[in-house]
A and B are shown apart, each in its own frame.
Chain A
Amino acid sequence: MNIVAPIKREMHVVHSRGDKVFRGIVTAGALTSLVILGLIGSFLFARGAQVFSQYGLKFITGTNWSSSMEEGIPSEFGMGPMLVGTIVVSVIALLFAVPMSIAGALYIEFYATGRVRKIMSGLLDLAAAIPSLIFGLWGIQIFTNFGQRWASFLGNRLGFVPIFNTISDNYGRSPFVAGCVLAAMVVPITTSVAREVYSRTPRELIDTCYALGGSKWGAIKTVVLPFGKSGVVGGAMLGLGRALGETVAVYLVLNLNFRYTFRILESEGGNVASLIATRFGESSSEELTALVAAGFVLFLLTLSVNMVASAIVAKTTRS
């Protein structure tokens, strides 16, 4: 037979005129989103770069934030205390939130029955929908009493530990209390993620534990917890992301003071978000740029935490 090599024609999908118009519109829409969101990112970056080139790393490490309106006296912008404050409050929140979330998730998934489980599940979803403002309202109006009591308990009994040391006797508006309120805000997210992960524990592994004569807690300890470890970490980071950027709840609960403090029971503190919220109104254009730079740093912080979180969560949902 005659072997003639075929002339290969690579194929592309043909677009009619209508297709081209449609694709144009859709692409324009997507690019608009891209441009708008990218614009914000680049704006923040530009201002951030501007301020960093002017103040260097002292912008992050410096302790003083003062805007000067007078000639000859330079303004000093150091967001260190606020950055630390953000992290301190968020860490306190996580320290409370993660154990409670794990317990909550375990309870719903393994200990609750029928109707109780449905109710708790529903409550969980509703709680995730509560705006942070309401957490702040509840925090300052209701929780502060409790928080104050616990903080004074800690302060009186464990006051020798440096972070629990206090100068004044006023505990109500401290990072500790703010951290508790943030914990309440973060728990719905982390509990949902934890529960999701725990529900995906392979049934056979759990059954094997029982078959070997283990108890419920034994099964949980040996199988469920290790299986869900990375998922819970991912959920915790999602919660951390939310706590880092939180403005109103902290603003309402905390007695704002822009100084370094590690005394978490003392009624003073702040975070970057409340710094911005407090100072934006009367700021000079110089200070405004500094605020934007501070916002940029905060954004980078939440962005990296969120990215790590979604990577972890994506990995666990894939398996």
Chain B
Amino acid sequence: MKVTTVSQRIESEGAVMSNTSAVLDTPEQAFAGLETRDAHAWFGKHHALSSVSLRFPAKSVTGLIGPSGCGKSTYLRLLNRMHEFIPNSAMAGEVLLHGVDIYGESVDPAAIRLKIGMVFQKPNPFPAMTIRENVISGLKLAHIKIDNEDDLVEKCLNRAGLWKEVKDRLDASGGSLSGGQQQRLCIARSLAVEPEVLLMDEPCSALDPGSTLRIEETIKELAEKITVVIVTHNMQQASRVSDYCAFFLSDGGPGVLVEADQTRKMFTNPTDTRTADYVQGKFG
């Protein structure tokens, strides 16, 4: 990969750096293998994210919370190398999966995305494919051989909580489902390639409350086997769904990580006053 190392530009970033980011570790429990060290992100000249260091706990749900525009989604896209598709983007720092920087010279980004999957805000099943084809599309696209297609389709749809509703119409078009069902189809699709981590960017914000609750249940079940990182605007959702939370904030400059801890503690007894203000609804 072409990495152009730009020499240190202390002057231009000067004012921005006054708001230092806290470097926090998540409590000792099984480490997911995914962590970022001093991660930054730029859109052209705009410094969007500053110095985020976070280690993700395994087999749990970590919620990224904070007001809109603080760089949560940008951070999420750093984790699976989707940020680089934006023209004139730049990053700094390291994103490590099992100790290996995913932005390293010899790393294949497509392979990373097989291990770190993503579900988007707006459900986007492939319209030209049936439900069955959608589920296995990830494997077909990555040219991975499938041993037992029917088993895999059933397993993934089950994990996504969709099997019962569509098992009789697997050959219907992917677009013929309701919004909530489409999103669960997208979750099933992401699960089919067996990722270690599933990133979710406000997956329920385009859905009705009923679908939202069902997907939240699904997320909690998924976390028994894989690590989930979910960006959410909705504090109630964060407190319902996540085991850990990371609070992002921006004062007009780049987004920074203010505090990260167990969800219970973040909501009842946070360390930072800004966190306390946010979870009490004083802004955001």
A binding-site residues for B, Cβ under 8 Å: 1, 3, 5-14, 16
Contacts and interface: CB of A to CB of B under 8 A. Distances in A.
A5 B13 contact: yes
Contacts of B20: 1, 3
Which of A1, A3, A6, A12 lies at the interface centre, i.e. has the most chain B CB atoms within 10 A of its CB?
A6
Nearest to A14: B1
Contacts of B108: 14, 16
Given A8-B40, A10-B88, 5 more contacts: A8-B90, A9-B4, A9-B92, A9-B103, A16-B110
B42 A8 contact: yes
B84 interface: yes
Contacts of B127: none
B90 A11 contact: yes
Nearest to A3: B17
Contacts of A3: 17, 20
A7 B8 contact: yes
Contacts of B3: 9-10
B91 A9 contact: yes
A13 B51 CA distance: 23
A1 B21 CA distance: 9
B132 interface: no
Given A11-B91, A12-B2, A5 B83 contact: no
Nearest to B6: A8
A11 B84 contact: yes
A10 B44 CA distance: 9
Contact of A12 (B7, B8, B38, B84): B84
Contacts of B9: 5, 8
A88 B148 CA distance: 73
Given A6-B40, A7-B8, A12 B1 contact: yes
Contacts of A14: 1, 84, 108-109
10 contacts: A5-B17, A6-B51, A7-B8, A8-B6, A8-B42, A8-B92, A9-B4, A9-B103, A11-B83, A14-B1
Contacts of A12: 1-2, 84
Contacts of A11: 83-84, 89-91
B253 interface: no
Contact of B5 (A1, A9, A16): A9
Nearest to B20: A1
Main secondary structure, interface of B, reads: mixed
Nearest to B84: A11
Contact of A5 (B1, B8, B89, B110): B8
Nearest to A1: B20
A68 B10 CA distance: 79
Given A16-B108, A16-B110, A10 B17 contact: no
A6 to B, nearest CB: 4
Interface in B1-40: 1-10, 13, 17, 20, 38, 40
Contacts of A7: 5-8, 92
Nearest to A15: B1
Contact of A10 (B6, B7, B85): B6
A11 B50 CA distance: 17
Contacts of B38: 6
Contacts of B83: 11
Interface in B138-175: none
B93 interface: yes
B109 A6 contact: no
A83 to B, nearest CB: 47
Contacts of B13: 5-6
A14 B110 CA distance: 9
Given A6-B40, A8-B42, A13 B84 contact: yes
B9 to A, nearest CB: 6
Interface in B73-111: 83-85, 88-93, 103, 108-110
**Top 6 A-B pairs ranked by shortest CB distance?**
A6-B92, A11-B84, A1-B20, A5-B10, A8-B6, A6-B40
Nearest to B13: A5
Contacts of B88: 10
Interface in B33-79: 38, 40, 42, 50-51
Contacts of A8: 6, 9, 40, 42, 90-92
B36 to A, nearest CB: 13
Interface in B182-220: none
Contacts of B93: 6
A145 B52 CA distance: 84
B4 A10 contact: yes
Contacts of B109: 14
A12 B105 CA distance: 12
Nearest to B4: A10
B96 to A, nearest CB: 15
B112 to A, nearest CB: 10
